Amino acid sequence: MIRRSFAGISFLLSSAASASAFSVDPVKMASFPPTFHLTKAMKGPDVAKHLVLGEEAKGASIVCIDPDAPHGCDSGQSNFGWLHWYVTSLTPGEEPDPKCHRGEHLITLSTGSHKWKGCEVVTYAPPTPPQGFHRYEFFMLPAGTTLPLSSWGLSSDSRKTRADIITDVHQKGGGVPFAAFGCTKSTAANAQCVKSDQFPAGCQYTATA
């Protein structure tokens, strides 16, 4: 068991989550500026340019998931989750471009003198909660980590496949997202999705003393 903090809350992670290959706390590898708020209207480049990556992020991956699809975290129903973004092979801007595989796209992250590059495996999809309250969690995965996407949405039980991938992200990502935002179907396109300290009951992260 290990203890980490997110948004001022202390977490005690399970042994499965603590088995992550991180040698550096993933929360310190990536962040958004305090003034950044996710909205439904944002496209991938809008999100990517606001990322702040530390030097330890080299070779790692960024993932955004909605663990609450389709019903919402406040529904009391089982959810399967959805993968909203997956970028691998993070590389500092001054280094040669990473070698992206067929079907992946080379994209730019961050801006200015701290530009980074990566291979976009799953194109960013903005929040589109159909019902209930949904959390959009951003994780870092350690270098060399991959997700089993070959059967994403294609297996005989795609719901189980989606749930397995969400679990995989939580475990390989160290159990705690470096950023999380939440919104509902009624949230206006340009309105700010709330941050974790404003999540409703049933959607808040479990804290330990």
pLDDT band per the 50, 70, 90 thresholds, residue 19? very low
59's tokens: 């070779």
Model pLDDT, residue 163: 85
CA 116 to chain centre: 17
Confidence check: pLDDT of 11 > 70: no
Coil, strand or helix: which one is 108? strand
Beta bridge partners of 75: none
pLDDT tens-digit map of 142-199: 998 888 776 555 444 566 678 888 999 998 888 889 999 999 999 999 999 999 999 9
pLDDT band per the 50, 70, 90 thresholds, residue 204? confident
151 or 100: which leads in pLDDT: 100
Model pLDDT, residue 149: 79
CA 173 to each of CA 9, 178, 202: distance values in angstroms, whole numbers, following the listed order: 17, 9, 22
Model pLDDT, residue 29: 86
Q: What whole-number distance in Å separates Cα of residue 39 and Cα of residue 187?
A: 9
150 or 133: which leads in pLDDT: 133
Give rounded-to-5 percent helix, strand, coil for the chain: 20, 30, 55
Sign for the CA dihedral angle at 167, 168, 174, 176 comes to: negative
Confidence check: pLDDT of 18 > 80: no
115, 44, 37, 170: CA torsion to nearest 10? -90
DSSP letters spanning 44-105: HHHHHTT-EE-GGGTT-EEEEEETTTTT-TTSSS----EEEEEEEEEEETTSPPP-PPTT-E
Confidence check: pLDDT of 4 > 90: no
pLDDT band per the 50, 70, 90 thresholds, residue 66? very high
* HSE-CB for 119 with a 13 A CA cutoff: 16
Domains of the chain: which residue ranges?
2-198
The answer to whether the peptide bond before residue 45 is cis (omega within 30 degrees of 0) is no
